[in-house]
Amino acid sequence: MVTSVRRTAGEAGVRAALARVADPEIPAISVVDLGVIGAVEVDGRRVRVELLPTFVGCPAIGVMQQRIGEQLRSEGLADEVEVPVVFDPPWTSERISPAGREQLRRSGFAPPAASSPGADVGQLDELAVLPVAECPYCGSRATTMEIPFGPTLCRAIYHCTSCRQPFEQFKRV
Amino acid sequence: MTAEVTLDAPARAAEAELLMSVADDEFVIGFWDSEWTGIAPMLEEDVATSSIAQDELGHAKALYELLAELTDDDADRIAFGRDADAFRHAALLNHARVDWAFSVARRWLYETADAVRLAALSSSSHEPLALLAGKMRREETYHRLHADTWFRRLSDGAPEGRERLATAFECLWADAQEIFAPLEREETLVGAKILSQPMRELHATWSSQVRPMLEPLAEGLTPAEPSPDGRRRRTDDFRWLHGEFTMVARSEEDATW
């Protein structure tokens, strides 16, 4: 018999619950695999989850904050959830997990170009945004960037010259 | 990340002035560029200009929030509740969008100057500002590439585009200097290392970068300096834009958004 219905979530429990929160704009990937979850602090029934936005002006920030709160409350892990937006550390596309890159690919998005070994990701220089993408449909690297801007701030539009499909890439930033 | 812990009152007032100048620049250029949504020269440009405008408005929002935290104010009130004369953007952003070449010229001048300014802000002693500027700087890389691409396309292309671009630069050159107009409390900012270098030094850096690129294109772009009222002059063009972007907020002044 359970003596207390009010349990305290550990940080691991909170992170596991957050892995069930989908990104509002690309639902195939969770906010954890997207790398937008920073520090997590658990203080009894109060949980503080730092949100590192992909872009400063991302209009999905409010929806993410709301869904994170709802998820933790509905799983009974917290009564009060605070989700501040922080830029420390800044989100970079290096924060997308290997599983997240695969989830992006499976849903038709090329993951951001991976940095070359030893590259300085502290600064996004112009070399870093050179158009390199692998077609998520046929795997060809014979692709051209149509435009480095797309339907959301974090996406660029490409065309595959092998299978002739247009596709989007999650931008390197 | 709380803004008030490390700053005394004079430093706070000085940073508020700085934040308002940068935020107003981003806010106003964001709204001018959003005027191209639906009517840019081609579909890809429609998407690009709208995306860049959205980025700039997002940067303005984050800066206004930092400002609101410092001054115990409300970001929406600062953005939408001020009279046109209370805005502190640089005179460069007083002009309407005119034609595509004009908007390209303005964006190129703005992005090159913003890059110099963001580099300085990302080493600010005030950590919340330094972190935000560092993040903005990564995004602005895309804006600068976009502006450079159009600068090259128009300046190396057909005579008409080149002439329109040159005319735009001649019209905007003096007002572009005002991005580096001295701030009233600049001494405090530099003293507290909230701003790593005085505006006149940032201006010299920018000027030495852009003049060699503009000289082959437009004659008569002589070295120019920012003026003390460079962020206080307002125009009818801006008053019109201000009327547009405050229209919804004014329609229901007590509404909660």
Q: A88 lies in a domain?
A: no
Output the six-digit token pair for B217. 């294109």
pLDDT the model gives residue B220? 77
pLDDT the model gives residue A1? 45
Full domain range(s) for residue A146:
107-115+126-170
**What Rg, from alpha-carbon coordinates, does chain A have?**
18
Domain B9-220+230-251 has CATH 3.40.50.720: no
pLDDT surpasses 90 at A9? no
Instruction: Say yes or no: A131 contacts chain B, CB-CB below 8 A.
Output: no
Residues on chain B bordering chain A, Cβ-to-Cβ distance under 8 angstroms: 1, 44, 47-48, 50-52, 54-59, 61-62, 127, 131-132, 134-139, 141-142, 145-146
Closest CA–CA distance from residue A86 to any residue of chain B (Å): 7
Q: Do B136 and A173 touch (CB under 8 A)?
A: no
Q: Do B1 and A92 touch (CB under 8 A)?
A: no
Contact list in A for residue B130 (CB cut-off 8 A) is none
Q: A93 lies in a domain?
A: no
Q: What residue ranges do the domains of chain B occupy?
A: 9-220+230-251
Q: A95 lies in a domain?
A: no
CA dist list (Å): B44 to A162, B40, B171, B173, B226? 22, 8, 27, 28, 35
- Cα–Cα distance, B237 to A163 (Å, whole number): 48
One domain for residues A17 and A78: yes
pLDDT the model gives residue B102? 97
Positions of chain B with pLDDT lower than 50, given as ranges: 1-4
Q: Do B132 and A87 touch (CB under 8 A)?
A: yes
pLDDT the model gives residue A109? 94
pLDDT surpasses 80 at A129? no
* φ, ψ at A22 (rounded to 5°): -80, 150
Closest CA–CA distance from residue B60 to any residue of chain A (Å): 9
Q: How big is the A-B interface in CB pairs under 8 Å?
A: 81
Instruction: Say yes or no: A92 contacts chain B, CB-CB below 8 A.
Output: yes
Q: What is the ipTM of this complex?
A: 0.86
- Which residue from B51, B134, B142 is facing A90, i.e. has the nearest CB? B134
pLDDT the model gives residue A123? 60
Mean pLDDT on A127-154: 86
Residues near A140 by beta carbon (within 8 Å), at least 6 away in sequence: A134, A160, A161, A162, A163
- Cα–Cα distance, B256 to B58 (Å, whole number): 20
Total of domains in chain A: 2
pLDDT the model gives residue B1? 45
Mean pLDDT on A73-84: 96
**What average pLDDT does chain A have?**
88
Give the CATH number for residue A68. 3.30.300.130
* pLDDT > 90 fraction of chain A, expressed in percent and rounded: 73
Instruction: Say yes or no: A59 contacts chain B, CB-CB below 8 A.
Output: yes
Output the six-digit token pair for B198. 């005085």
